[in-house]
Amino acid sequence: MAIITPLKTAAEQQLAEQFASIKAELPGAGAMRKVREDAFAGFEAKGLPHRRLESWRYTDLRNLMREAMPLVRRPARPQAIADRLALQTIAGRRFVTIDGIFSAADSDLQGLPAGITARSLAEALTEAPDEIAAAFAPPEVARDDSALMLNAAFAQDGVVIEVADGTELSQPLVLLALGSGTSEASIVSRSLVRIGAGAKVTVVELQENVGPAPVQVNHATSFVIGEGAEVEHVRMVTRQRAETVQVQSLLVELGGHASFDSVAVAVNCGVLRQQSFLRYGGEHSRAGLRGINLLRKQEHSDVTLVMDHAAAHGESRELFKTIIEGEGTGIFQGKVIVRQHSQKTDGGMKSHALLLNDGATMFNKPELEIFADDVVCGHGATVAQIDAEQLFYLMARGLPRPQAEALVLAAFVGEVSDMVSDEGVREIVGREIDCWLGQREGAPKLGAA
Q: What is the pLDDT of residues 51-95, one digit of tens each?
A: 999 999 999 999 999 999 999 988 889 999 999 999 888 889 999
pLDDT confidence of residue 447: 46
Boundaries of domain holding 407: 388-449
pLDDT confidence of residue 88: 83
The mean pLDDT of 337-364, rounded to a whole number, is 97
> Is 444 a domain residue?
yes
pLDDT in tens, 272-293: 999 999 999 999 999 999 999 9
Domain count, the chain: 2
Please indicate, yes or no, whether residues 267 and 396 belong to a single structural domain of this protein.
no
Please indicate, yes or no, whether residues 294 and 177 belong to a single structural domain of this protein.
yes
Q: Which amino acid is at 37?
A: E
Global pTM reads 0.95
Cα radius of gyration (the chain): 22
Please indicate, yes or no, whether residues 336 and 191 belong to a single structural domain of this protein.
yes
* DSSP assignment string, 339-375: -TT-TT-EEEEEEEEEE-STT-EEEEEEEEEE--SS-
> Is 1 a domain residue?
no
* Alpha carbons 364 and 324: distance in angstroms, whole number: 14
State the pLDDT confidence band at 2, using cuts at 50, 70 and 90.
low
Please indicate, yes or no, whether residues 75 and 181 belong to a single structural domain of this protein.
yes
Q: Alpha carbon of 302 to those of 41, 173, 266, 360, 417: distances in Å?
A: 26, 26, 10, 14, 19
pLDDT confidence of residue 109: 94
Please indicate, yes or no, whether residues 394 and 378 belong to a single structural domain of this protein.
no
Please indicate, yes or no, whether residues 401 and 371 belong to a single structural domain of this protein.
no
Please indicate, yes or no, whether residues 392 and 304 belong to a single structural domain of this protein.
no
pLDDT in tens, 362-396: 999 999 999 999 999 999 999 999 999 999 999 99
Please indicate, yes or no, whether residues 381 and 395 belong to a single structural domain of this protein.
no
pLDDT confidence of residue 4: 54
Please indicate, yes or no, whether residues 302 and 352 belong to a single structural domain of this protein.
yes
> Is 2 a domain residue?
no
